[in-house]
Every structure is written in structure tokens, then in C-alpha cells.
Amino acid sequence: MSVPKGYTCGLSMLTVAAVVWAALVEVQFAVGLAQIAARPAPFTEVASGFPESGGFPSNSAEAKAGQGTETPGDAQAELSRVIAQMDRTATSFHTAQAQFVWTQYISVVDEKDVQEGTVYFRRVGQQVEMAADITDPTPKQVLFSDGKVQLYQPKTGQYNQYDTGKYQGVVESFLVLGFGGSGQDMLKSFTVTYLGKETMDGVAVAKLDLVPKSEKARNTFEHIYLWIDLDRGVSLQQQMFAPKPDKDYRLAKYSDIQLREKIPDSVFKIKTKS
């Protein structure tokens, strides 16, 4: 299935991160990150702190609906607590792995592409490595390591590599969005809105709305919903939206999240047939 022109970002994530990520991690997301990294302008901007409005955009009906009975002051206090928990998690972060279900919705054909598998993260010195093993419906391997995104499809033997160059740190920040990335780093790249507390699979989470501060980033995805586990400071779900009028989105849901477990080095290597 082809992806419409202009929709280069899938998730997670990350992430970014992003991914981006996050996130933010599957093939289209990794390609999107590499394409973003190749653009001439930096992807992040330094934030001065929380939005002056207390974190609630005046023109966002959906954000207002998520406030419930909380005042802007209460919301900012709750957001501060979520950011602090993410910072604590980032400080002690070494590894993470999780099962995932990634759903990409493409509005022009009104279709959803669902992929499942396992994603892995680890911090090596000051760098972050990510590996994704997609098992269903078609096996694929994605690896981000040493500033390069590698993609391998075992059935066809197709292998691609993308060098993120001087934007390696930017790509990393999106890959670890909600998985080892700090709350303070998140504030540098996004205007963050606290939308309230929810329960997801029996876990208390905070729902955040992230709007990229970079105009170039907003041309790729308009905003991201992030559901953060209030106890562990990691993301249980991420949803990235393409710019309007497109209605495309990428939804990533994570389960069986394991932190600080030993991950074999072999996981962070592309396993080709040759």
C-alpha cells in the first residue's frame, strides 16, 4: 500500500519519537525521521518554560474538553508532576522493551495498516539505540544506532540505510519520547498541554498534547497525544496526527513494558540472510 505524498511520518516513536516516537519506529516512521533529519534547519527550539496560558491553548476545544473541572493552575501543577516523573525515569534509564501494536490510518483510501512486534531501547554512553522487530503481518527489522537508521525486510532481502548526520541527537530525542526521554527535553521541542488523567488497561495515565515548536516539524505532524504512566514515567500510548486537512494518524499502543532488563547485544544488529 502506498503512502500519500506529504505523509512521511508514521509512528511512535517517536519519535520519536518519537517518534517519536516515538514516536513516536516502524519502517515508514524511520524513513520519516531520516527525511526530517536531512532538512537544513534544526528540528528543535529552546523553550522558555510552560506556556503562559497555563498550558491550555485558547482555540483548542478538545483541550478544553479534557480539562474537566481542573483550573489552569491545577493543570500546570499536574503537568509539572508528570514532567518531574519523566525526568526521574530518564535519570535512571538504561533499557526498555515492549510489545507494540502500531496502527496507521490513511484517510485518502480510508484504510488502516496494523503492525505488531517488539521494540527495544538502550542507552549507550550519551547515545540511544533503538531496534524494532516487526513480526506481523510482514517481518521487518528497524535499527537506529550510531546515527544511522537501517531497514531490512527479510522476505525480499531489501536493505536500506539512512545517515542522520548532525541531526542524530534530534532523531534520538524523538525516538525516546516517552521511553527514557526527559520531560525537560520534551518541553524544549514542544508546547505541552495537560489534558487530564485517564485509566488505560488499569493503569493511571496523564494525557498530554504535544505541539511541535518548529514550523518544519508541524508541516510533518501537527500534534501528538502522549499517554504517560503516572508511576513509571513511560508512554503507554502515542498518537501522531498529520497536518490538516489530512486526517491521517499513527497510533502506537505499548504493553508488557519492561525497564532496566538486560537486552542481548544481538538485538541491536540487523540479521540479514547473507
Please report which confidence band the pLDDT of residue 253 belongs to, taking 50, 70 and 90 as the band edges: very high
Which residues sit opposite 197 in a β-bridge? 206
Q: What is the pLDDT of residue 162?
A: 81
Q: What is the pLDDT of residues 102-118, one digit of tens each?
A: 999 989 999 999 999 99
DSSP-assigned letters across all residues of 39-89: SSS-S-----SS-TTSS--TT-HHHHHTTTT--HHHHHHHHHHHHHHHHHH
pTM above 0.85, yes or no: no
Cα–Cα distance, 148 to 28 (Å, whole number): 15
The CATH class of the 13-48+66-268 domain is mainly beta
Looking at every residue in the chain, the average pLDDT score rounds to 75
Q: What is the pLDDT of residue 166?
A: 67
- pLDDT beyond 80 at 62: no
Q: What is the pLDDT of residue 58?
A: 33
